[in-house]
Structure 1
Amino acid sequence: MFLWQYLTPILLITVQICKAQICHKFTDLKLAHAIIGTSLRVRLLLHTRSNVTCGILLSHTNLTEHPQFNLSRPTTFIIHGYRPSGSPPEWMDKFTELLLAREDFNVIIVDWNHGATNLNYLKAVANTHKVAENLTAFIKLMQDQGAPVSSIHLIGVSLGAHISGFVGANINGTIGRITALDPAGPQFTGRPPEERLDPTDAHFVDVLHTDIDALGFRESLGHIDFYANGGTDQPGCPRTIFSGGSYFKCDHQRSVLLFMDTVDGMCTSPAYPCSSYKDFLDGRCLNCDRFGDAGCPVFGYDSIRWKGVLQEQTKVYFKTNSESPFCMTNYRVDVMIWNKSMRQGYMTVKLYDDNKVAVATINDKRWAFKKYTETKLFAQFDKDIQSVKKISVKYSTGNVFQPNQKLRILRFRVTHLERKDRPLCRYDVLLEGDKEVTFKPLPCEESNF
């Protein structure tokens, strides 16, 4: 009996250590589960800097069981969406690693795959409210234990975006931030605010749209709504049904990849307020004066910096590359010609330094060039060039039946829209149709900008 009194505490500690060392993974289901249907089960997997790749299964009722769960740290929840095949999201592990590399906080993966895996989408939609109730109870338990709700960040993907909204509404909009990555459109479009995500659900709600013509939600849902590539047809995604499953999910899933690309702060995409994507491409919306000294909002993890300057719901646009790094660099290109007659066509501009080249193809429409009239083009380059050593330009009419035309440029000027660099110019350049001309730029004369 005497020995047992000493052994019991040791055994209890050993059990706790063993329990803590068990790594729990996201539920992996099969298509058969989707066919049969699954009953809702919510699992909360904790990751911290001390267990980045090892998920700790949290209790829904007793937070003291988990010494790694430090409630004084901010907490981020990642909430996935509909899983018709039952497989774990392929981006989940990388997303977790990026977040923990950025900041020292708790990352909780909300695994509701039992409930999201069902060929009947309506069943998964019905489960979103139940998942929200579960998370609401858990967050209130955190709050009772001293965790500030204002330090909680919900990142919801597709259906997970609306789950985040329901949780926020249940806690009276006191959640610090909700990031909605291509919120689901089917069964939510046209619904009143209480039946979907809306700006009152958190102190700051930022939304990304990438598939508004199919699986995503078209209208604004947050304090700021980012429309990548207009919200449809993401670069690099297949355009025909013959590409298989990727045709249906690529645009929708791109939202997660775009946000992940911003977490480390190395890939930033300034976005511009505009009434339409067409006006954005035409360069009619390059003014960000409404945001004061903050400048144009930057999409992604750091968009929270614009929380205090948004006076109303704001819709902004930006373009991306087809693969990571997705961020592009924005320039204004001003062209003045001295041809007697008007010319119409497209331009491709390249910027070079000693080691790399950045390319912008300005082909959203056939641009008109008139004598002594400055044509302002909005150019998005696939990468940033810190010190431009040379520039090449190619002009094309885009009409194979039209003879090649020459474009006599009086002044060619490029202006970086994010940096305060002095614009670069070149004067008296002759472009022959479909032929690339390379030249060394010069700082523009003061009177030209």
Structure 2
Amino acid sequence: TDEACSSFTRLSFHSAVVGTELNVKLLLYTRKNLTCAQTVNSTAFGNLNVTKKTTFIVHGFRLTGSPPVWIGDLVDGLLFVEDMNVVVVDWNRGATTVIYTHAASKTKKVAVVLKEFIDQMLAKGASLDNIYMIGVSLGAHISGFVGEMYDGQLGRITALGYREPLGNIDFYPNGGSDQPGCPKTIFGGFQYFKCDHQRSVYLYLSSLTEDCTITAYPCDSYRDYRSGKCVSCLTPQKESCPLLGYYADHWKDYLKEKDPPMTKAFFDTAEEKPFCMYHYFVDILTWNKNIRRGDITIKLRDKAGNTTESKINHEPATFQKYHQVSLLARFNQDLDKVAAISLMFSTGSVVGPKYKLRILRMKLRSLAHPERPQLCRYDLVLTENVETVFQPILCPKLQM
């Protein structure tokens, strides 16, 4: 208790310009020292208990030399969900440079330092199954190098910051590229360059809180997911859907197999914390004589006046006579009891006549809570670009 707390290396942009020599510092946090890091190395383990899980957090490229703003929250979140050792791998002296390739060239050297430390842990009784690495950006590559040094026998690696499928399961938020709430042009300043990339960290962080649980859907493509073709994991006959983040490894026994198949999983998020989206199917049966193509906007309201909206506009839906169309709607609020629903149909045409969509039956069903009663409405006529508000009724129980 008399020792001073260790802290993450703080450098300046000047250091990035002149360059820094690599120096790796390992900062240990446990439930015994939640807020006061201990510097550990191959000969001094501090509070590290080799019988518990050890999670290494490995940051990436640091243009400005400042500590990553998310480090503290990630340490706190991990120790909140499990009694473990958390080791922050501080290689800021090496990662801080204006030339990305200079930082990249030092990643294998960092991996060697980590292997030396893990070797000593193993010598003291630790198990490779209990080693977990969370790597961000270049830190993900470092984690991969360490995994390679142990022939793929580490317990788990989570890599935040890469597009191509690499893992047993790869998660693609909002398709995996542009993220909602991030600047779309360079006029957004420095955030334009890092916001989308860094969102993976904040989505992972959300899995460590009780605010919401993000469900992902195994699927071949983002388009198929948005079209509602990839929700079979929610049916009672199937395994449950994978969860994003810390609890991703709980999904299905085959992730624990020696050579599990690679799986892509897609999901959408809100623009800001807590990021969760809640999925519903909107089943629409129409009786128009002619085919109608267009988008649907649906709003839900509860008795307290809370409202949430979903625009189903990723591609025009095709409505044919007596043919049911099932649309996947995504809301950023989960209203327990829906008192009112509004629908709006749009063809996207600015000029020309206003079309009508004649609905025999509309049905709303929650994917996250299939036990909730399904809501229906019959004989609706939607005039294009006009919001139609109505009170739903309970669907007959025999309906599928």
TM-score norm. by structure 1 comes to 0.84
Report whether the alignment pairs 1:301 with 2:246. Answer: yes
Which of the numbers 100, 112, 120 marks the counterpart of 2:91? 112
**Distance apart, 1:245 and its partner CA:** 0.9
1:261 and 2:195 are equivalent in the alignment = no
Q: Does the CA-based 8 Å contact 2:28-2:85 persist in structure 1?
A: yes
User: Structure 2 unaligned runs (5+)?
Assistant: none
Deviation per CA, 1:36-75: give whole Å up to 9, x if none.
Answer: 1111111111112232222211133222xx2x32223221
The alpha carbon displacement at 1:289 in A equals: 8.1
8 Å Cα contact 1:348/1:361 also seen in 2: yes
> Which one of 175, 179, 183 corresponds to residue 234 of structure 1?
179
**Residue 362 (structure 1) aligned with residue 307 (structure 2):** no
Q: Secondary structure at the match of 1:42?
A: strand
C-alpha separation in 2, matches of 1:99 and 1:82: 22
Structure 1 spans left out of the alignment, 5+ residues: 1-16, 184-217
Larger RCO, structure (CA 8 Å, separation 6 or more): 2
Shift in Å, 1:234: 0.3
Runs of 4+ in 1 over 4 A off after TM superposition: 289-293
Question: Across the two proteins, how many residue pairs are aligned to each other?
Answer: 394
Whether the 8 Å contact between 1:348 and 1:360 is mirrored in structure 2 is: yes
Corresponding residue for residue 196 of structure 1: none
When residues 119 and 307 of structure 1 are mapped into structure 2, their CA distance, relative to the original with a 3 A threshold, is: farther
SS in 2 for 1:111: strand
1:430 aligned to 367, 381, 389, which one? 381
Relative to structure 1, the CA distance from residue 431 to residue 289 in structure 2 (aligned partners, 3 Å threshold; closer, same or farther) is closer
Q: Is the 2:206–2:212 Cα contact (8 Å) retained in structure 1?
A: yes
Aligned to 2:11: 29
CA contact (8 A) 1:78 1:107 kept: yes
1:331-385: CA deviation from partner (whole Å, max 9, x where unpaired): 1111111222222221111222234323211111122212211112111111222
Whether the 8 Å CA contact 1:352–1:389 is kept in 2: the answer is yes
Partner of 1:126: 105
Deviates more, 1:147-156 or 1:248-257: 147-156
Whole-Å separation in 2 of the counterparts to 1:123 and 1:365: 43
Q: Decide which structure has greater helix share.
A: 1
Partner SS state of residue 448, structure 1? coil
2:227 aligns to what? 282
Distance 1:292 1:84 in 2: 49
Q: 2:114 aligns with which of 135, 144, 147?
A: 135
Identity over the aligned pairs, expressed in percent? 47
Provide the residue aligned with 2:68 in structure 1.
89
RMSD of aligned residue pairs (Cα, Å): 1.9
Q: Relative to structure 1, is the Cα distance of residues 387 and 397 closer, same or farther in structure 2, using a 3 angstrom cutoff?
A: same
Measured against aligned partners, the alpha-carbon deviations of 1:60-108 in whole angstroms (never above 9, x if no partner) come to: 3222xx2x32223221111101111111111111111111121221111
Matches within 5 A, 1:34-73: 34-63=16-45, 66=46, 68-73=47-52
Cα 1:245–1:353 shift into 2, 3 Å: same
2:124 match: 145
> Secondary structure of the residue that 2:102 maps to in structure 1?
helix
Which residue of the partner structure matches residue 147 of structure 2? 168
1:381/1:177 CA distance change after superposition, 3 Å: same
